[in-house]
Amino acid sequence: MQTNKSLNISNGLIQIKDLSKYYSNGRIRAVDELRLTIHQGETFGLLGPNGAGKTTTLRLLNGLIKPTNGTASINGFDILKDAQQVKSICGLLAESPGVHAKLSAFEFLELMGALYGLRKNELKTRINELLTFFDLSDRKNDLIEGFSTGMRQKVLLASAIIHNPEVIFLDEPTAGLDPRAARTVKELVKSMSERGKTILISSHRLPVVEELCDRIGIIHKGQLIAVGTITDIKEQTQTKTLEEAFIAITGGNPSSSSLPWRA
Ligand SMILES: Nc1ncnc2c1ncn2[C@@H]1O[C@H](COP(=O)(O)OP(=O)(O)O)[C@@H](O)[C@H]1O
Ligand SMILES: [Mg+2]
């Protein structure tokens, strides 16, 4: 972490200011004036149905696509102007990334670490540590093409955190995983959180955010329509479960001003 700007975090580590991404001349509002602050050390869940704008939000924050309007900063670094610094302090598990299937797990992680400028010895130690955590040590020299979905996801997760980032973005991290692999992912999130990392998880699955997140934001049609703890959201919607709240919110009109806790 760079220290010269680390004093700028008092109002939140991730500050998203009216961030928008439109496609097809504005016909598709993938992300629509998103305004949100995520605090240092927080695990925040971006929850929303398919097509809500979750992946687009994470891609914007990681500089993979450019906003139509608005901006965001991470630890004081502007996602557009300071893209390189943002990259160095953030790790992203993308939704459907390409994997170099013809590389072994170790080689793939070596490549990813080298892209982040990690030195050879330090990198080797780090890779072995990660492979042990993910229970992949005995498969480290096998080609990724022979890996199951769960094993690939573990390798991708390892690559997302190889440079020990302060901020971790996980896009649908447990999608397609069996319960055991999903548990490993959740354990990783918890252990990263215990180490003070700031984590933003996107998911359309309620149990994932319910178990892991300090606060959640419900996103629907590109708009953030509720932000708070799960208890807050249940209280405000007068529902007993997050599932009921989610349906009540996403079934209604997201621009309704009758929702007092609207972001
Ligand atoms: N490159 C693109 N071109 C056109 N529309 C896009 C593009 N990327 C995303 N969208 C649209 O933006 C909306 C949000 O997509 P996405 O962020 O992938 O949602 P989520 O991850 O919540 O399922 C969807 O309507 C999707 O079709
Ligand atoms: Mg998505």
CATH of the domain at 174: 3.40.50.300
Provide the token pair at 259. 């929702």
Whether residue 124 is contained in a domain is answered as yes
CA dist 196 and 62 (Å) reads 20
Quote the domain boundaries for residue 64: 6-251
CA dist 135 and 112 (Å) reads 19
Spatial CB neighbours of 43, under 8 Å, sequence gap ≥ 6: 189, 193, 198, 199, 201, 212, 213, 214
Whether residue 257 is contained in a domain is answered as no
Q: Residues with beta carbon inside 6 Å of ligand 1? A: 23, 28, 30, 48, 50-56
CA dist 116 and 93 (Å) reads 15
Sign (positive/negative) of CA torsion 96, 161, 176, 99? positive
Shortest-distance Cα residue to atom 24 of ligand 1? 51
- Environment of ion ligand 2 (residues, CB < 5 A): 54-55, 95
Q: Which atom of ligand 1 is nearest to the CA of 219?
A: 22
Whether residue 261 is contained in a domain is answered as no
Whether residue 160 is contained in a domain is answered as yes
Whether residue 260 is contained in a domain is answered as no
pLDDT, position 12: 67
Whether residue 175 is contained in a domain is answered as yes
Whether residue 191 is contained in a domain is answered as yes
pLDDT tens for each residue of the chain, 263 residues long = 443 434 333 456 999 999 999 999 999 999 999 999 999 999 999 999 999 999 999 999 999 999 999 999 999 999 999 999 999 999 999 987 777 789 999 999 999 999 999 999 999 999 999 999 999 999 999 999 999 888 999 999 999 999 999 999 999 999 888 898 899 899 999 999 999 999 999 998 888 899 999 999 999 999 999 999 999 998 888 888 888 888 888 875 444 433 434 43
At 157, the amino acid letter reads: L
Task: Please report which ligand is nearest the Cα atom of 68.
Answer: 1
Task: Please report which ligand is nearest the Cα atom of 59.
Answer: 1
Instruction: Look at strands 167-171 and 90-93 and give their pairing.
Output: parallel
Provide the token pair at 236. 């405000």
Tally of domains within the chain: 1
> Distance from the CA of 56 to the center of ligand 2, in angstroms?
7
pTM: 0.90
